[in-house]
A and B are shown apart, each in its own frame.
Chain A
Amino acid sequence: MVTPILPLTLSQVQVVKQGKRILGPLDYKLSGRGITVVLGPNGSGKTTFLRTMHGLEHIRSGRLYWACTTLAARKSQAFVFQTPILLRRTVLDNIAYPLLVDGSTKATAYARAQEIAERIGLGGLLGVMGTAISGGEKQKLALARALVRKPQVLFLDEPCANLDGSATKDIEAILMDEKANGTRLIMSTHNVAQARRLADDVIFLYRGLLHDQGPSATFFTTPATSEALTFLNGGILA
């Protein structure tokens, strides 16, 4: 039943908003396993890059294609936004929602939602309104909702940007767990320490372009570009 959706291929993809080039043109291929971390200073196009792959941005030129039909691919991927978007429903309803959209029965959807919620540590909050929980819990909820469909690819846009240490630790544990389950993760961050902890390979975006990339083992020790080196050393990139 599960047809692999990867690899995802981007060929000369360019995104333009209000006359301004935000991303590209760039070529990229997402395949394999593990966690890819997208690094880069503010405004370098990290968010747009992830949204473009997920199909949320209008591509001005170039091509983007999955290993299967776009429709099939859309059902096997999920996105976690930097600021969680929560439905004005209970935690359990939020998690079950994607399954109900897919046409699962209520019983199946809620059983699966409850299972995920408990795995992620939201078991005690099932009946609480999604909008009434703490920031860390909200991001966990968004993560649970993203995972409920068992996606092959999971996009995460700065999932820990506004969280404290303990919440960040929880989220990272969940991500490592998912990686072990075989989910392909690609996430952006501007936190180099987090990138070091999680990344299997790294993409460095600069001014909307794919400036540097490589396996984490080589990228963090010997980046190919001076901009990436400056960034890793905490320097300021103009």
Chain B
Amino acid sequence: MNDIWAGLTQAGRLIISLDPTLIEITARSFKVTLTATLLSVAIGLPLGAWLAISRFRFRRLVIAVMNALMGLPPVVIGLMVYVILSRSGPLGVLGLLFTTSAMVIAQTIIISPIIASVAHQVVRDLWAEYHDLLISINTSRWQRTRTLIWDSKRGLMTASLTGFGRAIGEVGAIMIVGGNIEHATRVLTTAISLETGRGNFAMALALGFVLIASALLVNLVMHHISRTERGSRW
């Protein structure tokens, strides 16, 4: 109980004093995770919709791979990305290891399957609902896809937020590929891990509270934006 209280007060102190280190790592957390989320949305939403609408030869295989990737512990993905980006690895010449780019790549690999999977489910359900109507109206495949994606935007936003939530709280993979380097790749979660290691529970908890508050803020902002649609009782 003491630690929690100390953590809360410390979190309050850090936020009120606009602690430069806190702002730096929080901003980096957001930069990395928002970039990864945008990339994953760009990959996952069309992939999920495609899997829901099209019937092609390797569809089952793609779904199986997607589910398998979702089940992998992030640390394994981190390790695979490390091996590939390492100077001794196939993409070593790019010099991306221990940069925020490496962290973006790892997070994108972690959350793209999650976003694609939720998107697949959402679009598949809507497709089942709309199927007869869209066939009846004689829509083209492209028109159907656009209609389904547009009309499931609520669910797709939930998918994106799920991905964002997973990514912002992830530590295992980005610790390996980012290296938790101060002023370069340190983010909220790796800093929490570091402070826990130092036994600074209050500081670790304070950072944890900041993390929770930021994630909450993003969710509230997104829901507020979608609330501007009238009659939102979907």
* A–B contact at 8 Å CB threshold (below): yes
A109 CB to closest chain B CB (Å) equals 13
Q: Is A34 an interface residue (CB 8 A)?
A: no
Instruction: Give the residues in chain B near A85, CB-CB below 8 Å.
Output: 129-130, 132-133
What 0/1 pattern do residues 120 to 152 of B give for CB contact below 8 A with A? 000000100110110111110001000100011
Closest to B140 in A: A101
B230 in contact with A129 (CB, 8 Å): yes
B58 within 8 A of A: no
Q: Are A128's CB and B231's CB within 8 A?
A: yes
Which residues of chain B come closer than 8 Å to A55, judged between CB atoms? 135
Binds B, one of A60-68, A72-80, A177-185: A72-80
Q: Nearest Cβ in chain A — how far from B64, in angstroms?
A: 27
Check: B232 CB closer than 8 A to any chain A CB.
Answer: yes
Q: Closest 7 A-B residue pairs measured CB to CB?
A: A129-B231, A85-B133, A79-B136, A88-B151, A74-B138, A98-B137, A132-B231
Per the bound structure, the CA–CA distance linking A81 and B132 in Å amounts to 9
Q: Is the CB of B130 within 8 A of A87?
A: yes
* Cβ-neighbour of B234 out of A75, A90, A129 (below 8 A): A129
Given A87-B133, A87-B151, 16 more pairs with CB closer than 8 A: A55-B135, A56-B132, A56-B136, A79-B136, A81-B132, A85-B133, A88-B126, A88-B154, A90-B230, A90-B231, A127-B231, A129-B232, A129-B234, A131-B234, A132-B231, A132-B233
Contacts A/B (CB < 8 Å), 28 sampled: A54-B136, A55-B135, A56-B132, A75-B138, A78-B136, A79-B132, A79-B136, A81-B132, A81-B133, A85-B132, A87-B130, A87-B133, A88-B151, A88-B152, A88-B154, A88-B234, A97-B137, A98-B137, A101-B138, A101-B139, A127-B230, A127-B231, A128-B230, A129-B231, A129-B233, A129-B234, A132-B231, A132-B233
List residues of A (35-80) whose CB comes within 8 Å of B's CBs. 54-56, 74-75, 78-79
Contacts of B147 in A (CB 8 A): 87, 97
Report the minimum CB–CB distance from A18 to chain B (whole Å): 18
Which bucket holds chain A's interface residue count?
Answer: 20 to 34
Tell me the nearest residue of chain B to A89, going by C-beta.
B151
Q: How far is the CB of B134 from chain A (nearest CB, A)?
A: 9
What A residues does B234 contact at CB under 8 A? 88, 129, 131
Please name all residues of chain B whose beta carbon is closer than 8 Å to the beta carbon of A127 when the two chains form the complex: 230-231
In the complex formed, the residue of A with least CB distance to B147 is: A87
Instruction: Name B182-234 residues within 8 Å CB distance of A.
Output: 230-234
A212 and B133 CA atoms in complex are apart in Å by 30
Cα(A54)–Cα(B137), bound, Å: 10
Chain B residues within 8 Å of A132, by CB: 231, 233
Are the C-beta atoms of A101 and B132 separated by less than 8 Å?
A: no
CA distance A74 to B152 in the complex (A): 27
Residues of A within 8 A of B143 (CB): 101
* Chain A residues within an 8 Å CB radius of B151: 87-89
Q: B residues within 8 A CB of A129?
A: 230-234
B138 to chain A, nearest CB (A): 5
Evaluate whether A131 and B138 lie within 8 angstroms (CB atoms) in the complex, with A81-B132, A87-B130 already known. no
Which one of B126, B138, B152 has the highest number of Cβ atoms from chain A below 10 Å of its Cβ?
B138
Q: Which residues of A contact B233 (CB under 8 A)?
A: 129, 131-132
Nearest A residue (CB) for B151? A88
Q: How far is it, in angstroms, between the C-alpha of A115 and the C-alpha of B69 when the chains are bound?
A: 52
Closest to B144 in A: A101
What is the 8 Å Cβ interface bit string for chain A, positions 83-100, against chain B (1 contact, 0 not)? 001011110000001100
Query: Distance in Å from the Cβ of B26 to the closest Cβ of chain A?
Result: 36
* Chain B residue contacts of A75, Cβ below 8 A: 138
Specify the chain B residue showing the minimal Cβ separation from A91.
Answer: B231
A76 to chain B, nearest CB (A): 10
Closest to A74 in B: B138
What's the Cα separation between A153 and B113 when bound, in Å?
Answer: 45
Q: Which residue of B lies closest to A80 (CB)?
A: B136
Minimum CB–CB distance for B164 against chain A, Å: 23
Q: B231: which A residues are within 8 A, CB to CB?
A: 90, 127-129, 132
